[in-house]
Amino acid sequence: MDVRDKLYIDGVFVEPGSIDTIQVVDSSTEEVIGTVPAGTSKDVDKAVQAARRAFEDWSVVSVSERVKYTSRIAEELGARTADIAELIAREVGMPLSLAMLIQAGLPIGTFASMADVVEQISWEERIANSLVVREPVGVVGAITPWNYPLHQIAAKVAPALAAGCTVVLKPSEVAPLNAFLLADVIHEVGLPSGVFNLVSGTGPVVGEALAAHPEVDMISFTGSTLAGRRVSEVASATLKRVALELGGKSANVILEDADLEKAVSTGVTMCFLNSGQTCSALTRMVVPRGRLGEVEEIARREAEAAKPGSPFDDTTRLGPLVSAAQRDRVRSYIAKGIEEGAKLVTGGAEPPQGLETGYFVCPTVFSEVTPGMTIAQEEIFGPVLAILPYDSEEEAVAIANDSSYGLAGAVWAADPERARQVARRIRTGQVDINGGSFNPQAPFGGFKHSGHGRELGKYGLEEFLEIKSLQL
């Protein structure tokens, strides 16, 4: 049991304002593996006041000095790589080998990258008789999700610190233990008191108090579109800056001349990554109608090879979902797909054989999906792929854009230039071309209901800066 009974405020671990706790559950065994405090609005106020006091000094610390801290945090996290991967594999369910690379590797890399990122920022520039300077936005409230918990924390905390902001973090109550590990590291490296603060708790209590607080200058939120709307509503009362990274229903457009084997097999992998609990997952596969049968067979083979099981079994390719609620939600979407007439290629709503304990869902593929079906429009957040056929390139682009979301996507074609032209027509924040890999230094964020603002690299750091003009 990892029992965390204190919050991290003003450079020390302190007693919370309530004796209430939140249980953390192992998603593959359904056993309680830890507890964290259920913070209160008073705890948020203490943390915000500490961050406000600390901002006066931290904001004028040199960029090079601030980066020394983010680099030291990266080093200390790196020394705990195995611990981070094991912890998040238990909290979230990602297979351990992938958790080492992604759940541990990405946040370490984000903190380490600040040394290079700050060199890409124009901290001052002269425009005629004006000196334009970039300054930290102030106190940042960071509200983060459970699917890539430490990665999403790092994507906010690292650039905010490098920019000169102070932070109050509310991690997801579903997977919060990794945030306390980060607090341990930050305490050990000696970050000045109040620069980083951690208040665990629920969204309706801690999240809303943070979004509403008049001394918070900016909210950076990652989560569902529904929760993002609520954060915006609450934050609007104080006119604070809000950055939102929300849901997705990303289309994988496979043109008729593409390498079908590679495009479909890679597409299935990118749909099922982290058991489909990825906001940028390629959950809609848009394919030529004349090759639908071939696509179904490749997708069936790949899905059935995605063996579900314990994250700590070397043969596992698909871990459990994060919670019972999430498992039940995904199964209900599978049932909805069948009810609305989609063709079930493989999988289904029944639990995988032999995995009655744990929050497991069969890897599922639907075909002959039409754009109006629920499984083609709503974010499922599970290992469920919808294959949609098209008859022309124009129709393929129209299907890809027929979504309230606009986070990610992909295009496959034999001609890379043709793929790029199609990619430019898709209204999303990023598009992979012929299997282009994720770039943690490129801007990440979406259009439409997928939110606004960008994370990662220099664009992510610029979100935490204000622009001031000095007329000389």
pLDDT at residue number 414: 97
Would you say the C-alpha torsion 207, 208, 211, 214 has a positive or negative sign? negative
Which position has the token pair 């995988």? Answer: 352
Q: Are 320 and 93 in contact (CB under 8 A)?
A: yes
Q: How far apart are CA 312 and CA 93, in angstroms?
A: 9
Residue range 434-453, pLDDT digits in tens = 999 999 999 999 999 999 99
Position 206 confidence tier, pLDDT thresholds 50, 70, 90 = very high
Name the CATH topology of 251-439.
Aldehyde Dehydrogenase; Chain A, domain 2 (3.40.309)
Query: Which CATH topology does 2-246+450-471 take?
Result: Aldehyde Dehydrogenase; Chain A, domain 1 (3.40.605)
Question: Per-residue confidence at 80, pLDDT binned at 50, 70, 90?
Answer: very high
End-to-end CA distance of the chain: 60
CA-nearest of 251, 250, 383 to 305 is: 383
β-pairing, 409-412 with 432-433?
A: parallel
pLDDT tens-digit map of 260-296 = 999 999 999 999 999 999 999 999 999 999 999 999 9
Give me the mean pLDDT over the 383-411 stretch.
Answer: 98
Q: Would the pTM count as exceeding 0.85?
A: yes
In the structure, what pLDDT confidence band is assigned to residue 388 with cuts at 50, 70 and 90?
very high
CATH 3.40.309.10 in the chain is located at 251-439
Give pLDDT tens digits for 118-133.
999 999 999 999 999 9
- Active site residue: 173, 208, 271, 279, which one? 279
- What are the CA-CA distances from residue 120 to residues 114, 123, 461 (Å)? 10, 9, 10
pLDDT tier at 237, thresholds 50, 70, 90: very high
What pLDDT does residue 241 have? 97
Return the residue matching tokens 């490749």: 298
Binning pLDDT at 50, 70 and 90, where does residue 140 land?
very high
Question: Where does CATH 3.40.605.10 sit in the chain?
Answer: 2-246+450-471
pLDDT at 27: 95
Residues, the chain: 472
**Is 76 designated active site?**
no
Least confidently predicted of 58-62, 74-78, 354-358: 354-358
Instruction: Find the catalytic residue in 173, 245, 455, 462.
Output: 245
**CA dihedral sign, ordered 389, 392, 394, 397:** positive
d(CA 37, CA 30): 20
Express each pLDDT in 286-336 by its tens digit.
999 999 999 999 999 999 999 999 999 999 999 999 999 999 999 999 999
Known active-site residue 245: yes
Residue 430 tokens, joined:
């990023």
